[in-house]
Chain A
Amino acid sequence: MKRTTLAASAALALVWSAQANAQANELTLCWAAWDPANALVELSKDFEAQSGIKMNFEFIPWPNFADRMLNELNSGGQLCDLLIGDSQWIGGGAENGHYIKLNDFFDAEGISMDDFAPATVYAYSTWPKGTPNYYALPAMGDANGWFYRKDWFGREDIQAAYKEATGQDLREPQSQKELLQIAQFFQGREIDGQTVYGASIFTERGSEGITMGATGAMYAWGFKYENTPGQYDMEGAVNSSAAVEGLEFYKELYKTGTPPGYDNAYMEQSLDAFKSGQVAMAMNWFAFFPGLYADPTVGGDKIDFFVNPAQNVAASTLGGQGISVVSYTDNMDGALAYIKWFAQPDVQQKWWASGGYSCHKAVLEDPNFVNSAPFAGDFLEAMGGVQDFWQEPAYASLLIAMQERLHNYVVADQGTAQEALDGLIADWTEVFEDEGKL
């Protein structure tokens, strides 16, 4: 840690001394290729005009994003000056010296982390977790949320049928179990001559899909990674009875409330299922909600959004990213100037208006915020209870283990939830032992 601090301050010294003879004034910003990224291109035109720095963008498709970017960082590549990297990379980015520590810069420029939503600062900026060591500026808040066919929910025949079947009113689910009940109600139902299904959820095997989906239920039941944060004492937390119940629930939802063939589904497939009119509800990242709301077939007044329902705990799976300066950049100067520009409240306002999820309190605490979009209130609520996966440098190994255990149990029907989570602890223990942390 000392080494990185040193490197960072040395780099900063360099920045200030080199201010006069700024070299080739171009910057490359790397991010995933998706809607908000295109919005950022538009937004950055202001920065270009103000600073005279030309912005280049390298947007990598989601399925390759982690592999490609980590590869780039590990090889000390100079492709990216700025990186909007996934929250789980922060540990590796900090410990391996890929990211510049921003504390001194923040102090010098008067950027205060208190101006950003605490959950986002915790998740996107700090390493070790929760300490005031900042390696990123919260850039894009995100969480896993839900959306549903408001037009179907509003139809009297469907409402009556639901009432008859369950004795309750059809509404936005207030608990995970209610969500399941609604999903099961829609499963296999005939609507406008078409067989429809309950909900599309994340079940993807290859990258992070099923973990991001299942943890939504598990957190809501009370799943925790450790008994004491920072101690890696997983026994009794990862495999607590609440965690087991949450996982069993997710399997039941998958088995009884999702369309056939969504056995390896992540964001794209979930969206396809919803947009093609197969499902009544779907989970996905908030980042997609502006696009969904504008969708010509299922958007507008046919759609509405809700936060991941609580069961025992109100909790949502965290997505989103912070923006970091890559330590291998040859334009540190410009990169920091970009962050400084991006942190301004009015830029953050525009960022939200153009489809990005700002984490700045000036935006989120604005009284008009909640009414600025149909999902704005849900977003605030979700960000109040987000939980994230491990952010350890070895997060990838931890994730692969969880992907395998969950997919084996939920989709491939092997073993019990208890066995899956017990096995997961064994896998994770091995990783932490290899890391020298246990």
Chain B
Amino acid sequence: MSAYSVTEPTRSSKWFAGLLVVAYTIITLLPLVWIIATGFKSGPDSISYPPKVVFEPSLEGYVNLFTTRTRIASDDFAALPPPETWYDQIVRDTGMVIAGQSRFGERFMNSVIIGFGSTFLSIFLGTLAAYAFSRFKVPLKDDLLFFILSTRMMPPIAVAIPIYLMYRELGLSDTHLGMILLYTAVNISLAVWLLKGFIDEIPREYEEAALIDGYTRFQAFRKVVLPQAATGIASTAIFCLIFAWNEYAFAVLLTSGNAQTAPPFIPTIIGVGGQDWPAVAAGATLFLLPVMIFTILLRKHLLRGITFGAVRK
């Protein structure tokens, strides 16, 4: 024992721990793998009884996700020229023809605009406010901070009706701007709290040195504090994005043709008679990718971020 650092776990305990965590990972990823696999099943395979573990991969789900299809009279169907593309072929094999594009692409882009837009805005405003709370004497600081946190406790429905009425008056209903502002308002409490923790940790001596060197306060903030807070900003961004990306309640309520995001769309993809599970799964998979990539890119910061400044000593 004495040969090792006392805090370094023993080899066997590492093995044991690793084994248990691997087991958990497998169990927890099973539903996820099932979703991804379902995206590559054909319609009948997806609802096969009993469920199929081995199946012939098909891109039907992805094709269905991006198209709308229709059945035409059998004489007309027989008279069609041979399919031109591989996706035409896939649809034709199910006895249908492509009628047009689905709106998934649009919804997805709305999600990108609203999700990343509100994340950016939350971080931008959050950083400013957090800096002010961290460095300056703000009157009623404690009260303001608790006020900011308490906005997070509101059930969305508590404010949904007035927001709904207010947006209707202001013309913000079903607009990107309206949704960005709304998600920013929900996320900003988290952003301020997390970021304040990070900025508190940056020694103020750095800025003071910069100020003495003749920087303005604002320059000092931009050139000294911001780079130092990068880790915190990155991890805060992950949490803001996860929320804004996946939000459902307000999206259903306040958006329709113009600014609707993907979460209300995906669970309701209905194919010919019944829920189109492969398309739903394909949509879920594609929709997971951006936020997953974002998280993997910033994963080093994730752990630091989650300490929530709140309990930082």
Q: Provided the pairs A33-B270, A275-B44 are in contact, do residues A294 and B71 lie with their beta carbons within 8 angstroms?
A: yes
Complex formed: what's the CA distance from A355 to B270 in Å?
Answer: 16
Beta-carbon contact of A35 and B49 below 8 Å: no
| B275 in the interface (beta carbon within 8 A) | yes
Q: Which of A60-68, A168-176, A178-186, A423-431 contacts B (4 or more CB under 8 A)?
A: A60-68
Residues from chain B with a CB closer than 8 A to the CB of A76 are 168
Complex formed: what's the CA distance from A38 to B252 in Å?
Answer: 23
| B79 in the interface (beta carbon within 8 A) | no
Q: Provided the pairs A267-B274, A275-B44 are in contact, do residues A64 and B268 lie with their beta carbons within 8 angstroms?
A: yes
Which of B68, B73, B268 is close to A41, meaning CB atoms less than 8 Å apart? B68
Closest to A297 in B: B44
Beta-carbon contact of A77 and B71 below 8 Å: no
Interface SS of chain B: helix, strand, loop or mixed?
loop
Interface size on B, residues (CB 8 A): 33
| A296 in the interface (beta carbon within 8 A) | yes
Which of A33, A61, A353 is close to B73, meaning CB atoms less than 8 Å apart? A353
Chain B, 19-35, CB within 8 A of any chain A CB: none
| A96 in the interface (beta carbon within 8 A) | no
Closest to B255 in A: A68
Contact mask for chain A residues 269-290; partner B; CB cutoff 8 A; 1 contact, 0 none: 1011001111000001000101
Closest to B168 in A: A75
Beta-carbon contact of B47 and A276 below 8 Å: yes
Complex formed: what's the CA distance from A132 to B252 in Å?
Answer: 36
Beta-carbon contact of A72 and B256 below 8 Å: yes
Residues from chain B with a CB closer than 8 A to the CB of A272 are 47, 274-275
Beta-carbon contact of B70 and A39 below 8 Å: yes
Min Cβ gap B65→A in Å is: 13
Complex formed: what's the CA distance from A324 to B70 in Å?
Answer: 24
Q: Provided the pairs A64-B268, A194-B49, A272-B275 are in contact, do residues A296 and B44 lie with their beta carbons within 8 angstroms?
A: yes
| A115 in the interface (beta carbon within 8 A) | no
Min Cβ gap B157→A in Å is: 13
Min Cβ gap B251→A in Å is: 10
Closest to A355 in B: B71
Q: Provided the pairs A276-B48, A290-B71 are in contact, do residues A67 and B274 lie with their beta carbons within 8 angstroms?
A: no
Complex formed: what's the CA distance from A38 to B98 in Å?
Answer: 10
Min Cβ gap A413→B in Å is: 26
Contact mask for chain A residues 74-92; partner B; CB cutoff 8 A; 1 contact, 0 none: 0111010000000000000
Complex formed: what's the CA distance from A96 to B52 in Å?
Answer: 51
Residues from chain B with a CB closer than 8 A to the CB of A278 are 49
| A408 in the interface (beta carbon within 8 A) | no
Min Cβ gap A401→B in Å is: 20
Which of A67, A71, A295, A354 is close to B273, meaning CB atoms less than 8 Å apart? A295
Chain B, 265-287, CB within 8 A of any chain A CB: 265, 267-270, 272-275
Residues from chain A with a CB closer than 8 A to the CB of B173 are 75, 77
Complex formed: what's the CA distance from A64 to B265 in Å?
Answer: 9
Closest to A268 in B: B275
| A292 in the interface (beta carbon within 8 A) | yes
Complex formed: what's the CA distance from A63 to B259 in Å?
Answer: 19
| A291 in the interface (beta carbon within 8 A) | yes
Residues from chain B with a CB closer than 8 A to the CB of A75 are 164, 168, 173
Beta-carbon contact of B99 and A41 below 8 Å: yes
Contact mask for chain B residues 34-60; partner A; CB cutoff 8 A; 1 contact, 0 none: 000000000010011100000000000
Contact mask for chain A residues 331-375; partner B; CB cutoff 8 A; 1 contact, 0 none: 000000000000000000000011100000000000000000000
Contact mask for chain B residues 242-275; partner A; CB cutoff 8 A; 1 contact, 0 none: 0000000000110011100000110111101111
Complex formed: what's the CA distance from A61 to B268 in Å?
Answer: 5
Beta-carbon contact of B274 and A271 below 8 Å: yes
| B200 in the interface (beta carbon within 8 A) | no
Residues from chain B with a CB closer than 8 A to the CB of A109 are none
| B216 in the interface (beta carbon within 8 A) | no
Beta-carbon contact of A63 and B268 below 8 Å: yes
Which of A28, A38, A295 is close to B69, meaning CB atoms less than 8 Å apart? A38
Interface centre among A62, A71, A267, A292 (most CB of B within 10 A): A71
| Smallest CB-CB A-B distances: 8 pairs | A61-B268, A271-B274, A38-B70, A268-B275, A291-B273, A276-B49, A291-B272, A276-B47
**Given A58-B257, A296-B94, 17 other A-B contacts at CB below 8 A?**
A28-B257, A33-B268, A34-B270, A38-B99, A39-B71, A42-B99, A79-B258, A268-B270, A269-B275, A271-B274, A272-B275, A288-B274, A291-B273, A294-B95, A296-B44, A353-B73, A355-B70
| Chain A interface residues toward B at CB < 8 A | 28, 33-35, 38-39, 41-42, 58, 60-64, 67-68, 71-72, 75-77, 79, 194, 267-269, 271-272, 275-278, 284, 288, 290-292, 294-297, 353-355
Selected A-B contacts with CB under 8 Å, 7 pairs: A33-B270, A41-B70, A268-B275, A275-B44, A291-B71, A297-B44, A354-B71
